[in-house]
Amino acid sequence: MAGLPPKGARVLVAMSGGVDSSVAAAILMEHGCDVVGVTMKLHGDGADVPDRPCCSLDATSDARRVCEKLGIPHYVTNLVDHFSHDVLDDFVQEYARGRTPIPCVRCNTFTKFRDLLHKADAIDAPWLATGHYARIGHRHGQAVMVRGLDTSKDQSYFLWGIDRPVLDRLVLPIGAQTKAETRDIARRFGLRTAEKIESQDICFVPDGDHVRVIAEHLGADAPALQPGPLRLASGEIIGEHQGFARFTIGQRKGLPGGFAEPMFVVEIVPSERAVVVGPREALLGRGVEARELNWLAEAPPVGAQVQVQVRNRARPSPATIVRVDPQGIELALDEAVQAISPGQSLVVFDGDVVLGGGIIERGMRAAPDRVPGKRLPILAA
């Protein structure tokens, strides 16, 4: 099968206990690979273990039983400390700064792939596989990350931060199929995860109450959880909120009514503990700046035309690179984009190829000045 390692090659498969990673292991096993399953232990034992489809004790048990069904070994690797430092601490601190983080990106970037590659090296496995809906392709002789074939399930948005050399060892067996096809394969193999519900929420916030997590780590008296003004961009105070960490850019829920048009959160000002609200039009931005860049292909030059996503499931937006350097990237958007939120991911594409990404620092109402002259392609044909 195209895109899979040679028969007999040893592959370490990251198994969450869900149907996607189960089928990834099954495909590789049927292909004739020497498959080893591994589940990441991300949470401590006891009451703090989330009750959810992945990352729970039941999920680990499901992964083990799938491996038993497939006749492959299964191991558990303890990444509790790494996950707490790389993902959970960052999640709390970002909300404390009035930003909106994506912990799945942090987990992929700093915990999952780096630690699992060390595990793969320890068992002499040249390959690492996951159940992500994305693909590995090749361009100009180099491995590249490509969107999943099913755009409704594509997960490439969450993978921009992995180390570029990982692409040479990464296998994504389900990236060219739909979720329905994945479930059909699971049924064919008789896997217990075939009908398992999808994981939707943050693994360490199974009840959706991220404020509780912040309070547990920073204390209920943290500034981000204290009352502050709800105000308009003009400075007029229209109410009081109970902590800016409860809000994110684009949010409508929890805001006072009585306006001629719906109002949304358009800015969070931590230094003033203020949440600024405005009409939908105030959410629109024509420029974006991001930092903490990571490139999975050659960095595009200033003036290049690209497509960008500022949220998962957002429609790709054409843009022009105005500045790119080790400190960050700045882009002018061809059309206004809604709710550009600091802390979220900016992912840069050339067609279906993931060029790289970064963490959004700010959105801009007006487009930054474009480079004069002809706009450049990404790479020469």
pLDDT category at 49 given cuts 50, 70, 90 is very low
Q: Which two tokens stand for residue 139?
A: 């361009």
Task: Give pLDDT, residue 2.
Answer: 60
CB of 316 closer than 8 Å to CB of 184:
no
Q: Which residues are annotated as a binding site for ATP?
A: 14-21, 40, 131
Distance CA 326, CA 141 (A): 25
Q: Which two tokens stand for residue 165?
A: 């050399």
Domains along the chain? 10-189 (3.40.50.620), 226-278 (2.30.30), 283-364 (2.40.30.10)
203 given a catalytic annotation? yes
| pTM for the model | 0.90
Q: Is the pLDDT of residue 177 over 90?
A: yes
Look at 368 and 116; give whichever has higher pLDDT: 116
Residue type, 139: R
Q: Is the pLDDT of residue 375 over 80?
A: no
107 given a catalytic annotation? yes
Marked catalytic residue, from 33, 67, 104, 107: 107
Q: Which residues are annotated as a binding site?
A: 14-21, 40, 131
Q: Is the pLDDT of residue 47 over 50?
A: no
| pLDDT tens track for 299-313 | 999 999 999 999 988
Marked catalytic residue, from 33, 67, 104, 203: 203
Task: Give pLDDT, residue 379.
Answer: 38
| pLDDT tens track for 312-360 | 888 899 999 999 998 899 999 999 999 999 999 999 999 999 999 999 9
